[in-house]
Amino acid sequence: MFEPSFWMPESVNALAQGTDSLFMFILWVSVISLVVVCGSMVFLAIRYRASSDVSRANPPLDHLGLEVTWTLIPTIILMIVFYWGTRDYVRMSIPETDAMEVRVMGQKWFWTFDYPEHGIRLQATEELNVKNTREGRPVGLVVPVDTSVRLVGSSADVLHSMYIPSFRMKKDVVPNRYTITGFRATKEGVYDFFCTEYCGTKHSGMITKVTVLSKAEFASFVEEAQTEAESPIDGATVFASSGCAGCHSVSADAPPGGIGPALYGVFGRKEKLTTGNTIIVDENYLRESIENPIAKIVEGYGPVMPSYAGRLSEEELTALIVYLKGLGSDKEAPI
């Protein structure tokens, strides 16, 4: 575990353990490079000053060994940095399969956190942050300790960005697609959560907290929230009211065929497309297929689905995708 330092707050994310060492590595490589480059510069400037009587005859025009060295060493260093950084990035982007899911929606100028497995919704507005702090209640995003959490982010309007310095985590939330990141908090506590992309007048109002509770505290927090918090929109209702059922079956024993692909167990399924390519169904494919159905059509079906772009709100769209994801998975659809 990294202690808080001059540079950074304490690191409490088990998935980003390499970040601080990488930072120190880059820092020291930079310091050493600075000393070597500037030291040589100063040395040569003094040695070859105009009044120096050093010999200037036959200056070398090339030096293979030197050129190979100054190409090879930086290349190796950059490859180390690339590997080191990518490893943690991938670890955070592809969270463990048993991760608890939280849907994060950025919006001018607050955050909404939906917990599909618990059927609760938390919000982080400036007023709520102040109120919860005053009442001694958990603020902002609330998660249990030592639990993998998968954040699926989207935006209802402009570009926002989730930034939790203590988790060494930063991820943009972007309109019209989902971005995924994850963490596993190793220590209970309250940590800063910023919006770190300028998103308009009250960008600074999107500052909030991540509250990491013990597993028991989290369970009772959820229980309490289930009774009083606003619950997320029900995806099954959106599915029914949008007429999806006219073409798509959702039951396990649906007969093959139909106008559109059967949706039971659709999430994570490998589908062959009319183009011959294969895709794995994920959040972004579902989203694209709802908003722009003819973009990637499953083999055996026609381009007959109308676009739902603009007909569903960001919230409804996400609820619908949560619902589809729950079909046929062991994690039952919420509500």
**Among the candidate windows 68-76, 93-101, 199-207, 289-297, which touches ligand CUA by CB under 6 A?**
199-207
| Farthest CA pair distance, the chain | 94
Q: x/- contact string, 201-220, with ligand CUA (CB under 6 A)?
A: --x--x--------------
Nearer to ligand CUA, 148 or 179 (CB): 179
The DSSP bridge partners found for residue 191 are 210
Nearer to ligand CUA, 181 or 186 (CB): 181
Residue 114: partners with Cβ closer than 8 Å, 6 or more residues away: 102, 103, 105, 120, 121, 232, 318, 322
> Does 101 participate in binding ligand CUA (rule CB under 6 A)?
no
- Residue 106 beta carbon to ligand CUA: minimum distance, rounded to whole angstroms: 5
| C-alpha distances in Å from residue 115, one per residue of 79, 122, 174, 290 | 39, 8, 20, 22
Euclidean distance between the first and final Cα of the chain, in Å?
39
How many residues sit close enough to ligand CUA to count as binding (CB under 6 A)? 8
Nearer to ligand CUA, 197 or 316 (CB): 197
Nearer to ligand CUA, 164 or 199 (CB): 199
Give, as ranges, the residues between 111 and 170 that touch ligand CUA (CB under 6 A): 160
CA distance 21 to 26: 9
- Residue 159 beta carbon to ligand CUA: minimum distance, rounded to whole angstroms: 8
Exposure letters 195-222 (e unless 16+ CB within 10 A, then b): bbbebeeebebbbbbbbbbeeebbeebb
Among 15, 19, 20, 106, binds ligand CUA (CB under 6 A): 106
Closest listed residue to residue 314, CA positions, set 106, 93, 100: 106
Nearer to ligand CUA, 173 or 305 (CB): 173
Q: By the criterion CB under 6 A, which residues form the site for ligand CUA?
A: 106, 160, 195, 197-199, 203, 206
